[in-house]
Homo-oligomer: A and B are copies of this chain.
């Protein structure tokens, strides 16, 4: 039995998120179908983290087991040839059988794009949250230190979800103006792992601070309240991008897909 790791980019616009479901197309569903056709048996993909409907990924990671003997380059070429254009496999790697895309992820990075201009931007509408009123970036940045460390993020969990623990570790968080994209503000966050809606809930609260409706101290108080009901609603999904997942040097693949391979 082989253990194969995929690095995947997708535009979440036309999907009900990563996780397979009966109501409509999902990235997992499409990928499992394509892999089954290539490998000749049913495939169960496990992703590092699920993304919600409308959320994009620049480098999602998932793994699967297979008895197929097809070489990595063939899998790489065939999967990209059969996938729709809004999903691409960036890399196919042969891993130790113990490797698990979710359990062994050491760090995940997401970013969130805000288009901050009085008039909406038609070509960024699927890749950003349009906030027409000017945002005070200094006030927003003043909130960032409160996010760093091992904290109880219960205030930023998804409403109505039941979780064993709402404690998560955030390593880094920053707010920058995007290079080369006028009026785009990018919030980037790296942590051990995130709860569903956690990044979007943080962005929802940060934007309230940027608009002056909350102070950085209010933001701190919301976080410390550990109560979802005191935090503002989540930012919409289309601004969120899963940027990448880091596994550490332990999990070097035994065999990489050749660089520059063309699908």
B87 pairs with A263, CB closer than 8 A: no
Of residues 1 through 25 on chain A, the ones whose CB sits less than 8 Å from some CB of chain B are 9-11
Is A163 an interface residue when CB atoms closer than 8 A count as contact? no
Closest residue of B by beta carbon distance from A179: B180
A260 pairs with B118, CB closer than 8 A: yes
Task: Give 1 or 0 for each of A123-136: 1 = CB within 8 Å of chain B CB.
Answer: 10101000011000
Is A120 an interface residue when CB atoms closer than 8 A count as contact? yes
Query: How far apart are the CA atoms of A118 and B80 in the complex, in Å?
Result: 11
Is A121 an interface residue when CB atoms closer than 8 A count as contact? yes
Is A75 an interface residue when CB atoms closer than 8 A count as contact? no
Contacts of A122 in B (CB 8 A): 9-11, 56, 85-88
Contacts of A120 in B (CB 8 A): 80, 85, 88, 263
Contacts of A89 in B (CB 8 A): 119
Contacts of A56 in B (CB 8 A): 122-123
Query: How far apart are the CA atoms of A178 and B180 in the complex, in Å?
Result: 7
Query: How far apart are the CA atoms of A10 and B124 in the complex, in Å?
Result: 10
Q: A179-B180, A180-B181, A181-B180 are in contact. Are A88 and B121 (CB under 8 A)?
A: yes
Is A90 an interface residue when CB atoms closer than 8 A count as contact? yes
Q: A119-B90, A179-B179, A180-B178 are in contact. Are A125 and B260 (CB under 8 A)?
A: no
Task: Give 1 or 0 for each of A78-105: 1 = CB within 8 Å of chain B CB.
Answer: 0010000111111000000000000000
Contacts of A241 in B (CB 8 A): 123
Is A254 an interface residue when CB atoms closer than 8 A count as contact? no
Contacts of A87 in B (CB 8 A): 122
Contacts of A88 in B (CB 8 A): 119-122
Closest residue of B by beta carbon distance from A7: B119
Q: A179-B179, A180-B178, A180-B179 are in contact. Are A263 and B118 (CB under 8 A)?
A: yes
Query: How far apart are the CA atoms of A133 and B262 in the complex, in Å?
Result: 8
A127 pairs with B119, CB closer than 8 A: no
Query: How far apart are the CA atoms of A166 and B133 in the complex, in Å?
Result: 47
Contacts of A9 in B (CB 8 A): 119, 121-123
Closest residue of B by beta carbon distance from A186: B180
Identify the A interface with B (CB < 8 A): 9-11, 56, 58, 80, 85-90, 118-123, 125, 127, 132-133, 178-181, 241, 260-263
* 14 residue pairs A–B, Cβ–Cβ below 8 Å: A11-B123, A56-B122, A58-B123, A85-B120, A86-B122, A88-B119, A88-B121, A89-B119, A118-B260, A118-B261, A118-B262, A118-B263, A123-B241, A178-B180
